Amino acid sequence: MKNMYSKETTKKSGRLSFFLVMMLCTAMIGASCWFAYTQTARDITLEIDSITDMNSRIAAAVPETGIPRTEPDLPETTAAAKAETQALPLFTPTEPRTEAVTDATEPAAERTAEQTAAPAKPVRIPARMPCNGEILQPFSNGELVKSPTTGVWQTHNGVDIAAAAGDPVYPAAPGIVTDIEENALWGICVVIDHQDGFFSKYCGLAPGLQVGTGDTADPNEPIGTVGNTAEIESATPSHLHFEVRQGETLVDPAAYLGRAAE
């Protein structure tokens, strides 16, 4: 009986010791957490105070920006130059000025006509008759006309200017000879580029031309003579078949030669 009591007492004493140890550990853990928490809070408070103090020093060192800035009074000449600079456009053309530079002190009445007159641009449209003669067959402007040679209804893309075989043929305007061909229907043909978008064509010329491809055409110098090499218009009296083209469009040569088609 005594032994059973002793064992029961020992068990109760062991459980009590275990609970005491657990309570002691819990208290130690709680104390450690509380210490860590208070230390962290103190560090954070010190850091916030440091940042606040730093911001205060920076604010005191930097001048207030809300006060409007005023520019010092400029001399009259400087202010005028500044105003002129601000009035300039953002983009300044870089193309060179082409007007003639004249002495600003020269009176306008003393300037000669040669100094004030603009240089005349050479005429490069077909403006003169390539040979002297009446127009036998006008430009049909895309309409069909019956050919006296073939009897076929077809367009007539130029004008036929009456001229005797061997008569000189002149360029209708300055230009560059771009093509010379011997066509089975139109005979010997010369094409001149007048460099203003106009081209002229001279058909039915005689052999022995006086120009070649790439030569400069001078209205005062003949390119050749009238021939009878245009088989497609052999039934028409001796003449020069003359065409004018603006870009890719055939136009009426008489409108540029100052002659009314007859």
Tokens found for residue 53: 């103090």
Tell me the per-residue pLDDT of 109-142, one tens digit each, with 9 for 90 and over: 454 544 445 445 555 788 889 999 999 999 999 9
Per-residue pLDDT, 18: 72
CA nearest to 175, candidates 126, 224, 105, 119: 126
Tell me the per-residue pLDDT of 170-197, one tens digit each, with 9 for 90 and over: 999 999 999 999 999 999 999 999 988 9
Tell me the per-residue pLDDT of 143-178, one tens digit each, with 9 for 90 and over: 999 999 999 999 999 999 999 999 999 999 999 999
Number of Cβ within 10 Å of residue 73's Cβ equals 8
What number does CATH give the domain 135-257? Answer: 2.70.70.10
Q: Which residues are CB-neighbours of 178 under 8 A, at least 6 positions away?
A: 191, 192, 193, 199, 213, 214
Tell whether the model's pLDDT for residue 17 goes beyond 50: yes
Band (pLDDT 50/70/90 cuts) for residue 259 is: very low
Domain boundaries along the sequence of the chain? 1-59, 135-257
Tokens found for residue 112: 């000669």
Tell me the per-residue pLDDT of 32-75, one tens digit each, with 9 for 90 and over: 666 666 666 666 666 666 666 665 665 565 555 444 555 555 55
CA angle 31, 35, 38 (to 5 degrees): 135
The SS3 of residue 254 is helix
